[in-house]
Amino acid sequence: MLSHDHIWAAIDDVAKRYDLTTSGLARRAGLDPTTFNPSKRTGPDGRERWPSTESVSKILRATGMSIAEFMGLLDRSTAPARHEPSFRQVPLLGLAQAGAGGFFDDGGFPAGHGWDQVEAPPARGDGVYALKVTGDSMLPLYRHGDTIIVSPTLEARPGDRVVVRTKDGEVMAKVLEKKTQRSVHLASLNLDHPMRSLALSEIEWIARIMWASQ
């Protein structure tokens, strides 16, 4: 059964997954930094305070987490404790390098030489890897030097943050706005960069962004 402690534990898990404090998570979601502080979880009279659905919605929008992933955290918070590795090694490559040849196979999986290694939280899907952000095209969400964890196997849905590589070798991090049988429409995280529309025939692969370390 869902309880006050379970939902707050799930919010704490969201913050940990994105390498944030609860205050940092609140700021990223556009909320007051104290919104998720332990002191705000009960009132002066000792009554339990629950996070609003609006706050949870803003968390999901700010982090790119799906409602299904959040519900999975709720399931974990209600289940018996399991001993799982907190981190694992995944291949790491600079985002600018990803446009060069020899680093990916035809399916968008890491291949070849030149990859480093970085620790990342356990993640679903095969072929998970990390990219080091360069430049300002992913501002304000991701900054130069941040690391993003991506999966070439998890389905990308509208609203998901993705990395796209074209057959010409261009690599970009965008928000998947719409996908049809013939084209993909991509919004920029940085509003100074325009929306892109590409024919499916121009795209080599799309990988979903799952997690970020700042």
pLDDT digits 0-9 by tens, 143-161: 888 888 888 888 888 988 8
Indicate the DSSP class of residue 103: S
3-class SS of residue 26: helix
Structure confidence at residue 137 (pLDDT): 65
Domains of the chain (ranges, CATH numbers)? 4-78 (1.10.260.40), 88-213 (2.10.109.10)
Residue of higher predicted confidence among 170 and 142:
170
pLDDT at 58 over 70: yes
Tell me how far CA of residue 37 lies from CA of 16, 40, 127, 130, in angstroms.
14, 5, 36, 30
pTM of the model: 0.57
What pLDDT score does 80 carry? 47
49-53, 64-68, 204-208: which range is least confident on average? Answer: 64-68
